[in-house]
Chains A and B, each alone.
Chain A
Amino acid sequence: MRLTLEFGGGLELLCNSVKIHHVDVDLKTGEDKLSMRDLLTWIKSNLIKERPEMFVKGDSVRPGILALINDCDWELCGSLDAVVEEKDMVVFISTLHGG
């Protein structure tokens, strides 16, 4: 599944300072959808190059990190259970940086 992932607010520092990633995520066999929970796992093992604890805590993003799916707050679409689809854009922004 092709997705556009964007990291901002300092999170890009965890992925070689690259903000926008065009990725192709392999789905589990027989499935055509991907949950945010699965996507986070995929990101953690494929994109995050250092200090993963700055990005994830437990099975979710670290509190203080905002996530948007196609520019919509993920809290409106089920957070971890939200489903992403082909060509979706998922944005993660840290609010934890200096103001």
Chain B
Amino acid sequence: MENGDADGKPKRAAGRLCSICNQKKPALKRPKTLEQICRECFYSVFEEEIHNVIVDNHLFKPGERIAVAASGGKDSTVLAYVLSELNRRHNYGLDLFLLSVDEGITGYRDDSLETVRRNEVQYGLPLKVVSYKDLYGWTMDEIVKTIGLKNNCTFCGVFRRQALDRGAALVRADKLVTGHNADDMAETVLLNILRGDIARLSRCTFITTGEDGPIPRCKPFKYTYEKEIVMYAYFKKLDYFSTECIYSPNAYRGFAREFIKDLERIRPQAILDIIRSGENFRISTSTKMPEQGTCEQCGYISSQKLCKACLLLEGLNRGLPKLGIGRSRGPDRAKKDGKQRTLLSGVKGSDLQSKQCGTLDF
């Protein structure tokens, strides 16, 4: 089925040809440009645009050890595939490998880690798996057992945010790349506005962050539409896994997501425009910005003496799991509606609604 019309049904859109090659039947409408293009032209513009983003932003240097954050989901699967293609095609000279985090949630990672293990073979990229046990000394299941389900999202979000950085440091990567796409980026800009989080707003659209820290992070899919990522995976028959963290309902983010998708349907360009707005925000010099320091314990960026993760860990280790939860801000605030979700309703109600909590906080 690689070649467009193998099923011999040219009846639809038959009059029109691909607006790039003018020869083949178009297979999709690009949200970015509204062009109708065929599969082969889609593959090449999709890949070459990412290549241009990499080159224009000087994302990599030859010889670097690059950890591709791999969750087994669509974005990271396509990212791993495209990066290994481009690395070969354009001689980036990168030492690429897949990095996965095992949170230690019974049953949850089994399928997605299985997917990443298949990707390891399919794309010929070595895989490193680091567990929460390695990183924090606790599995997510053990944490939930200690604190109950009510506050687990605080842990889930905070630990997840740091897990990749800590994991990348543990396996001595030079850089970490993540699959955050244009839709994610637009959603994050919007969320930071909705939360009045000026500090995050000003840096959430950076293509590379943490350059002063131990592991810089970059996002080669910053301008890549989610629709194109999913279409690419579908046409190329890339193997990915789709389910949510069972501990992660996040209503607020869910609404922002829905809003972005509604806008996109009316005017797909809106996504790039929101990113551009984020990029062009200038913060007035009179705005008080939180001071950015590093955690005394682990070196992760933190405005306090201890970062949130270390504070939560201290609480867990001292048998005071509530330590650090009270002052939490951000996504968890949306949960203070008194509705405590049980594990079961979390599974049923949230798995299609929103992305994993914490995965998109920059």
Contacts and interface: CB of A to CB of B under 8 A. Distances in A.
A72 B13 contact: yes
Given A77-B12, A94-B242, A98-B355, A72 B262 contact: no
Nearest to B262: A63
Contacts of B76: 99
A10 B352 contact: yes
B260 to A, nearest CB: 9
Nearest to A75: B29
B26 A9 contact: no
Contacts of B75: 99
Interface of A: 8-11, 13-14, 50-51, 54, 62-64, 66, 68-73, 75-77, 82, 85, 88-89, 91, 93-99
Nearest to B74: A99
A93 B264 CA distance: 16
Nearest to A72: B27
Interface in B1-20: 1, 4, 7, 9, 11-13, 16
B1 A71 contact: yes
A94 B352 contact: yes
Nearest to A14: B352
Interface string B66-100: 00000101111000000000000000000000000
Given A75-B29, A76-B29, A91-B234, A69 B12 contact: yes
Interface stretch (B224-232, B301-309, B311-319, B325-333): B224-232
Contacts of A76: 12-13, 16, 26-29, 36
Given A10-B351, A76-B26, A97-B352, 5 more contacts: A72-B25, A75-B28, A76-B12, A95-B230, A99-B359
Nearest to B27: A72
21 contacts: A64-B226, A64-B261, A66-B230, A70-B7, A70-B9, A70-B12, A71-B235, A72-B13, A72-B27, A73-B28, A82-B12, A91-B234, A95-B74, A95-B226, A95-B229, A96-B352, A97-B244, A98-B243, A99-B75, A99-B179, A99-B359
Contacts of B53: none
Query: What 8 A-B pairs have minimum CB-CB distances, sorted nearest first?
Result: A99-B75, A63-B261, A73-B28, A97-B242, A64-B261, A10-B242, A77-B12, A99-B73
A71 B7 contact: yes
Interface in B231-258: 231, 234-235, 242-245, 257-258
Interface in B187-242: 226-227, 229-231, 234-235, 242
A24 to B, nearest CB: 19
Interface centre among A9, A13, A66, A72 (most CB of B within 10 A): A72
A14 B225 CA distance: 25
Interface in B124-181: 179-181
B103 interface: no
A73 B242 contact: no
Interface in B259-316: 261-262, 264-265
B39 to A, nearest CB: 8
Given A76-B28, A77-B12, A98-B73, A63 B264 contact: yes
A68 B179 contact: no
Interface centre among A8, A62, A94, A99 (most CB of B within 10 A): A99
Nearest to B266: A63
B184 interface: yes
Nearest to A55: B352
B234 A98 contact: no
Nearest to B77: A99
Interface centre among B16, B75, B226, B265 (most CB of A within 10 A): B265
B243 A10 contact: yes
B35 to A, nearest CB: 11
Interface centre among B76, B230, B234 (most CB of A within 10 A): B230
A24 B54 CA distance: 48
B119 interface: no
Contacts of B4: 71
Given A66-B231, A99-B181, A77 B243 contact: no
